[in-house]
Amino acid sequence: MAALSIQKLTKRYSKNEAPALSDFNYEFSEGVYGLLGPNGAGKSTLMNMIVGNEMPTEGKILYEGQEIRRLGGKYRNILGYMPQQQQLYDNFTIGRFLYYFAALKGLRQAEADARIPELLKLVGLYTHENRRLKSLSGGMKQRVLLAQALLNDPKILILDEPTAGLDPKERMNLRNYLFSIAGQKTIILATHVIADVEQIAKEVIFLRKGETVLSGTPVEAVRYAAPSIWETEMPGTLYQDFSRKYPSNRVIGEMGEKVSVKIISEEKPEIENVRQAAVSLEDVYMYLYR
């Protein structure tokens, strides 16, 4: 049985508007799932319904076969959520903030005393416990939010843009940590940074205007787009004219006076030295949302 089963989930905010999420179905087990798509695709709407912040217009969310609305507190006890918005208590210190959320999550004092230092070390804030939240950078606030999401050692972890504001080393550390715990947890990670999920995701889900346009393993996603991704090199002086003819392209490197370019085209482009490209998940994203 899937840990989290979502069946025909739909969310409408108005009868006169298109649904923010339409007939979404998915079975989540242990592992990392990447939720991808442009702004307005439905990612945050889906996550808000999974964590219980919003009620679906139609459909069901089941945890181990039972509707989450009926499970109530039992479901919240196994849930960890890191929102994208940094709405924190500015005058709290980091330590006080985490102890406050530990109490809300029902941790006993001894559990909080053991868990909080461990998490502060994990997110690189162990020496900052007494700093007030209003004095923190955006990246440090992200790390505090991640720590609070992990306080209760959740079985389901929902992360909305968790690496926003993090430097490359912090992002790498976070990816490594999520991969290390993914065997015991269901982790749903929404991001615009494809590299955050490309190496660690068990499956990826691409949304557009509230609908699923592609889902599966990263290898399956790459295989789907590969026939339409091409690569070539050209003098940099020719790129502007080339870009007008093939607007769905991206520069992937520069070699002296030449540039290396990937092109999205259903048919083989009529240019010299063009060949099938090695495809990444970022290419898949560009293919789907060109």
* Domain residue spans of the chain: 4-78+154-216, 224-288
pLDDT band at 9 (very low <50, low <70, confident <90, very high): very high
Averaged pLDDT for residues 231-254: 89
DSSP state of 116: H
| Cα 12 to chain centroid, rounded | 23
Res 89 pLDDT > 80:
yes
pTM: 0.90
The pLDDT value recorded for residue 270 is 86
Percent of the chain, pLDDT > 90?
69
pLDDT band at 120 (very low <50, low <70, confident <90, very high): very high
Measured CA to CA, the distance from residue 232 to residue 235 in angstroms comes to: 11
Average pLDDT, the chain: 92
CATH number, domain 4-78+154-216, options 3.30.70.100, 3.40.47.10, 3.40.50.300, 3.30.465.10 = 3.40.50.300
Tokens of 83: 């929102």
Tokens of 145: 């939010």
More confident residue, 271 or 288: 288
The residue among 226, 227, 220, 223 whose CA lies nearest residue 205 is 220
Each residue of 217-242: pLDDT tens digit? 999 999 999 999 999 998 988 888 88
Averaged pLDDT for residues 259-267: 93
- Can you give the length of the chain in residues? 290
SS3 percent helix, strand, coil of the chain, rounded to 5, is 35, 30, 35
Each residue of 138-181: pLDDT tens digit? 888 888 999 999 999 999 999 998 887 778 888 888 888 889 88
